[in-house]
Chain A
Amino acid sequence: MVPSAPDLSFRSGRNRNERIIGAILFLCAALSTLVTVGIVGVLLTQSFAFFRQVSVVEFLTSTQWTPLFQDKNFGILPLAAGSFLIAGGAAIIALPTGLLAAVYLSEYAAHRTRRILKPLLEILAGIPTVVYGYFALTFITPILRSIWPETDVFNAASGAIVVGVMIIPTVASLSEDALSAVPDTLRQGAYGLGATKLEVSTRVVIPGALSGILASFILAISRAIGETMAVTIAAGNLPNLTLNPMESIQTMTAYIVQASLGDTPQGSLAHQTLYAVGLTLFLITLSMNVVSQWILGRFREEYE
């Protein structure tokens, strides 16, 4: 005798609720894609209007950026140079410092020391950028000017120094992740051959983590290029194609702030510069982030 078949069918009410919830959750996740579409869409359409009046060649090759003047010039180079001057200076400070700090935290520091130092670095990363700007303007710049009196009140060096300090935690934390991911068996192998800690660190661990370290460098430089407030406050608002860190400059980010603070009429060419510069900034930082993630992905594969 066969007992009656059990009812295992879908409960319609419950099943509908599950589907609705799933759909809502998916929409929330998909919203993040919409943000990207929004950013790219806004930057592209508005920049397109800009590039109908200013040729791409002029934008990329002219050495003058004077969109708000009578004699208008639309060369991104001075702004890009400003951003790279800041990023380059910051990199000189942050990359070696951050990497060495990562080596210390990963290879040397006792557990207790790490537990104190890492939160301190996290605090450093959490200080608002406007505070770094204040620090640069009221503390670092006076010091620079007392050493080199010809230094401008607003100068690239001061901005680069604080941006450098600002990105130390990025380099240190991501590089430390990379160093810690190097398997201990490699270290033990080297110690077993009589290597000192210095030799193990510099010839085994750092080479083993090289791609992860490189990824942290690129990401940190990308952050330096995207940094806005500290450089707006400390480095000035003078588009200036120079390599002299003691001069006043303007970064791409600082220009965007300046353009939005002023009362440029909407739809005017001067207003559209904001988007052209924004697009340039976005493409530079995006490509650096993509490269960094790509390197990191390959690095993870190495040890999995």
Chain B
Amino acid sequence: MPTTHDIDTGGKAPALEARGVSVFYGETHAVKGIDLAVPANKVVALVGPSGCGKSTLLRCFNRMNDLVTAARIEGTVGFRGKNLYDDDVDPVEVRRRIGMVFQKPNPFPKSIYDNIAFGPRINGFDGDLDALVEQSLRQAALWDEVNNRLNDSAYALSGGQQQRLCIARTLAVKPEVVLMDEPASALDPIATQRIEELIYELKKNYTIVIVTHNMQQAARISDYTAFLYMGELVEYGPTDTIFTNPREERTEEYVTGRFG
């Protein structure tokens, strides 16, 4: 099992670093002792067949698994030198710094404005909320489409717009890392393309970890790709290498579409 990876972090400390992370759901061992370093300001794609543990691993990075009562997590996740699973760490604080975008767009049943404003408000933001909302919507490339109807219900938006709204909502909390769990899987090709362009833009300011089942998408948008299979990290490296010259036979079979 590979435990070291030729990841070039450019001399910088990784943004996130999983060491020996295991997740158990009752009797099921969903993630098995994974080591994985996420370089700052890069896009890391987690790929693998469904049930391989990629979403579960993603949720370890912002302690969303804590919300599943049956889940038990072992190992450490380093975030700027701090283990996210230390006893004195508040998962709520973790999620404020490490944001998450989900598989299906899940806007709140409120106005576009209130969707963006929810995060800052609960964080006690006391600056110019209007400016923050505009900035977040601009970052998510949604401002031009919604600036004249910020008080409309978020449910009035198309699926792709809703997902960009969810991204804007995440950015409004000013996270350092954004986790994305198959963010385009419920969208049509055009909306998907817009999300991918957006991810490329966001890389400048954020570290992104994205789960995807779409190999072309992983190849297009990620700098590094990790291939998981049955809860194990089979191979992790620069996306080019993973797709053109993988070390492991299983990786090659998967990325070329021979199974999974």
Contacts and interface: CB of A to CB of B under 8 A. Distances in A.
Does A touch B (CB under 8 Å) in the complex?
yes
Interface of A: 1-11, 14-15
B86 to A, nearest CB: 8
A301 to B, nearest CB: 19
B82 interface: yes
B13 A10 contact: no
A171 B90 CA distance: 50
B126 interface: no
B89 A5 contact: no
Contacts of A7: 93
A15 B91 CA distance: 11
Interface of B: 12-13, 79-82, 84, 88-90, 92-94, 97
A6 B82 contact: yes
A2 B80 contact: yes
B11 to A, nearest CB: 8
A210 to B, nearest CB: 33
A11 B84 CA distance: 15
A3 B88 contact: no
A10 B13 CA distance: 25
A165 to B, nearest CB: 42
A5 B80 contact: yes
Contacts of A5: 80-82
A8 B90 contact: yes
Given A6-B79, A6-B80, A1 B13 contact: yes
A9 B81 contact: no
A127 to B, nearest CB: 36
B90 A11 contact: yes
Contacts of A10: 88, 90, 93
Contact of A9 (B12, B80, B93): B93
A9 B97 contact: no
A8 B94 contact: yes
20 contacts: A1-B12, A1-B13, A2-B13, A2-B81, A3-B80, A4-B80, A4-B81, A5-B80, A5-B81, A5-B82, A6-B79, A7-B93, A8-B79, A8-B90, A8-B93, A9-B88, A10-B88, A10-B90, A10-B93, A15-B90
Contacts of B93: 7-11
B84 A8 contact: yes
A2 B17 CA distance: 13
A82 to B, nearest CB: 49
B81 A8 contact: no
A4 B176 CA distance: 14
B82 A8 contact: yes
Contact of B97 (A2, A6, A11): A6
A15 B90 CA distance: 9
Contacts of A6: 79-80, 82, 97
Contacts of B80: 2-6
A11 B124 CA distance: 13
Contacts of A2: 13, 80-81
A8 B13 contact: no
B90 A3 contact: no
Given A3-B81, A11-B90, A15-B90, 11 more contacts: A2-B13, A2-B81, A4-B80, A6-B82, A7-B93, A8-B82, A8-B84, A8-B93, A9-B89, A9-B90, A10-B93
